[in-house]
Amino acid sequence: MATAQRFEGWRDGMSVWKTENASSGGTIVTAGQQGGPAMIRNDFRRNWKVYVMALPVIAFYIIFCYGPMYGLSMAFVDFKPRLGVFGSPFVGLRYFKEFVTGPYFVRLVSNTFLLNLWGLVFGFPAPILLALMLNEVGNRRFKRTVQTITYMPHFISLVVVCGLIRIFCASDGLINSIIAFFGGERSPLLADSSYFRAIYTISGIWQNVGWDSIIYLAAISGINPELYESATIDGAGRLRRMWHITIPGIMPTMTILLIFAIGGMLGSAHEKIILLYSPIIYETSDVIASYVYRRGLQEFDYSYSTAVGLLSSIINFIFLWFANAAARKMSDTSLW
């Protein structure tokens, strides 16, 4: 009896084949596992078009991401552009030592970390909440209008946004007018260290909540509507449905994005900070990137900034590793 077998894919290291049989259509799981190179050869033969499509992407990563990594050795030499990376005099760990033993090191690291933590604690749930709320809205027109309005700020240039923030936070600005209306005293808000994190985080949320919620809305739309129907029949209210269906449905997306966010804890979008800060609020606003920027204005010190960048990246990677390990233990989703 001629049975046509179609290769379906790999599951748990075993190949799965679907039989096209006149009498019984079904899936057969072959117990054998093909060896590595043979596996790839076979797959390549069948799906070579997909491999060809992936080729430019792989080339991109090799050329633009992995290739330039040799430049990291700039951190260990006193780099002079004319002599190149390998021709410049070797200085070893000098710049790392300089950075770590500087008087502001602890403050810089803690400011960077805290600013990102605030962004995580307040800025991470915000798009999720927005997506959940938008999902509950019945009126499609209203939903689409709200979506458009919330993701418009994302397209405003950062420089313009920071200019607006400065104007609003000035003594005669909008926010101070509101404070004065309620009987408070006017003061330049961007000159007070204790307000900086709030201003930075809130303005970040305002600008990005709409755009970031798109991915969650996309994930929600992938949830099977039958689940909602059966839940409603079983008597689940709106909040229950959200808790038991929607949130688990977008949990994989949330986990991946959370891992990314944790992997960025020691980096920061320093352009925004540089546009907003001033020496009087260095105490909470001076982060690693902005200090290195000021240092670089003196000297175009490629080596110093590469060293600091390398250090931050290593620490970020450690965070990422732990976050991923935790995610793997606690759920099915993880980066690797």
Partner 1 sequence: MVSCNLLITKFKGGLIVKRLIGLLLTLCMLSAVLIGCGEKAPTGGQSGDSSKDVAGAENTPEATGKQENGKGEDKEAESQTADPLKDPYGLPNDLSAYPLKDNPTLTYWWPIDSFQAVATKDMNEQEVWKEVEKITGVNIEFQHPAVGQETEQFNLMISSDDLPDLICQSDSYKGGVTAGIDDGVFIDHSEIIDQYAPNYKAFRESDEDRRRTTMDDKGRVLGFYNLSPYSEWMWLGALIKKETLDKTGLPVPETMTEWYDFLKKCQEAGYDNPLNFDASSGTVWTGLFCSAYGAQDWIFINKEGKADWGPIQPGMKDYLAEMSKWYKEGLIDKDFATRDYNSKMAFLISDACAVSIESPDTLWGTWKEQNNIDFVGSPYPVLKKGDKPTTTYKHWKNGGWPTSITMECKNPEAAARFLDFGYTAKGWELFNFGLPERTHRIDESGMPYYHEESAMWTDPDKVPLSHRIWKYKIHQGPFIREEHNSNPMLVSPGSYSGQIRQMWTEGTDASPAVPPTSFTSEESAREADLSTQLSTLRSEIFLQIIMGQKPIEEYDKFVETAKSMGVQEWLGIWQAALDRYNAR
Residues in the site for partner 1, rule: CB under 8 A? 78, 80-84, 98, 102-104, 163, 166-167, 169-171, 186-188, 190-192, 278-280, 282-283, 286, 291, 294-295, 298-301, 304
Whose Cβ is closer to partner 1: residue 99's or residue 216's?
99
Whose Cβ is closer to partner 1: residue 161's or residue 327's?
161
Q: Least distance to partner 1 from the beta carbon of 110, Å?
A: 15
* Spatial strand order in the sheet of 4-11: 4-11, 14-20, 26-29
Q: Least distance to partner 1 from the beta carbon of 2, Å?
A: 41
Q: Least distance to partner 1 from the beta carbon of 71, Å?
A: 12
Whose Cβ is closer to partner 1: residue 95's or residue 216's?
95
**Tally of CB atoms within 10 A around 288:** 24
Whose Cβ is closer to partner 1: residue 197's or residue 241's?
197
27 backbone dihedrals φ, ψ, rounded to 5°: -105, 140
Taking the C-alpha atoms of 177, 179, 183 and 184 in order, what is their torsion angle to the nearest 10 degrees?
A: -120
Whose Cβ is closer to partner 1: residue 143's or residue 166's?
166
> What's the token pair of residue 107?
């403050």
Q: Least distance to partner 1 from the beta carbon of 211, Å?
A: 20
Q: Least distance to partner 1 from the beta carbon of 319, Å?
A: 27
CA distance 232 to 242: 11
CA distance 309 to 288: 9
Q: Least distance to partner 1 from the beta carbon of 80, Å?
A: 6
Whose Cβ is closer to partner 1: residue 44's or residue 70's?
70
Identify the sign of the CA torsion 48, 49, 50, 52: positive
Side-chain half-sphere CA neighbours of 294 within 13 A = 13
Place of tokens 């800025």: 123
Whose Cβ is closer to partner 1: residue 85's or residue 209's?
85
Whose Cβ is closer to partner 1: residue 290's or residue 324's?
290
Alpha helices by DSSP H, 222-269: 225-234, 238-241, 247-262
Q: Least distance to partner 1 from the beta carbon of 60, Å?
A: 14
Q: Are 184 and 195 in contact (CB under 8 A)?
A: no
CA distance 213 to 219: 10
Kindly give the interhelix angle for 158-169 and 193-221, rounded to the nearest 10 degrees. Answer: 130
Q: Which three-class secondary structure state does DSSP give residue 18?
A: strand
Q: Least distance to partner 1 from the beta carbon of 103, Å?
A: 6
135 backbone dihedrals φ, ψ, rounded to 5°: -65, -30
